[in-house]
Amino acid sequence: MRGKLIVFEGVEGGGKTTQIQLCSQWLQASNLLTQLNTIQPQVSVVITKEPGGTSLGLGLRQLLLEEVSSNKPNNSKNPPIQERAELLLYAADRAQHVEEFIKPLLAEGAIILCDRYTDSTLAYQGYGRGLDLTLIDQLNQIATGGLESDLTIWLDVDVKIGLERAQKRGKTDRMEQASLAFHRRVQQGFESIYQQNPHRIVRVDASGSQAQVHSAIQEILHRHFNLSGYPSPSSPESSPE
């Protein structure tokens, strides 16, 4: 039985990392894994991210998100990453991630919860940076070998609210330090991608509390697993909350 690739997308501060952790805990505490293990033993829930889901990816993540800081002046020893170079680095991270990590786990039947995937590249490098969308689509196809997510959960939050949340966490990364106008273009990109891919993307209003957002995601996962022929991931009877 092939596994599931479930991707979480959205602008900065949308709560992806938190919701992925909550979903992992919920899935593992639910009846889903117990029922799946009767079909295929040792089905697991695995969390990963892009960039940084492999050893190579961790190095690329540092280059892409941490190397250049808006608090430090650019100089000849530390020039900014050029837009096309940035795009290719993300593609390299994804190619390694898919072949080394995602495909083998899917073949084992794992449920993979991934923080960002191909839609982020379209939104950030395409709509945000203004690079050619057709070129990015082609690069995504090359990097993934055509592997799409089974389900993408778009955590939609107002850009200003998201950036305020990100700043409250403390140190911001290179992408979070980009201009408000850039992040608005990225948000418009996610909206366009959502409209073009209703078969795999579900929008969640991420402006509410963590509990409200998590509840909405639970409902989405219930529907998705049922429609895919999986048993429903109902909560344990011992947890009426």
Q: In sequence order, what DSSP letters do the residues of 108-167 get, joined into one string?
A: TT-EEEEE--HHHHIIIIIIIT---HHHHHHHHHHHHTT---SEEEEEE--HHHHHHHHH
Sorted by sequence, the CB contacts under 8 Å of residue 75 that are 6+ apart come out as none
Q: In one letter, which amino acid is 70?
A: S
pLDDT tens by residue, 146-162: 999 999 999 999 999 99
Tokens of 200: 């795999």
Instruction: Note the pTM of the prediction, 2 decimals.
Output: 0.88
4-227, CATH topology level? Rossmann fold (3.40.50)
Give residue for tokens 């209703």. Answer: 198
Spatial contact of 137 and 192, defined as CB atoms under 8 Å apart: no
d(CA 26, CA 28): 5
pLDDT digits (tens, 9 = 90+) for 5-19: 999 999 999 999 999
Taking the CA atoms of the chain, what radius of gyration do you get in angstroms?
18
- State the first-to-last Cα distance of the chain, in angstroms, to the nearest integer: 32
Question: Is there a contact between 125 and 131 (Cβ–Cβ < 8 Å)?
Answer: yes
- Asked if pLDDT for residue 163 goes beyond 50, the answer is yes
Mean pLDDT, rounded, for 67-95 = 76
Q: Which helix (H) or strand (E) holds 186?
A: helix 180-196
3-state SS, 39-74, equals: CCCCCCEEEEECCCCCHHHHHHHHHHHHCCCCCCCC
Mean pLDDT of all residues in 221-234:
74
Average pLDDT in the 200-208 region? 96
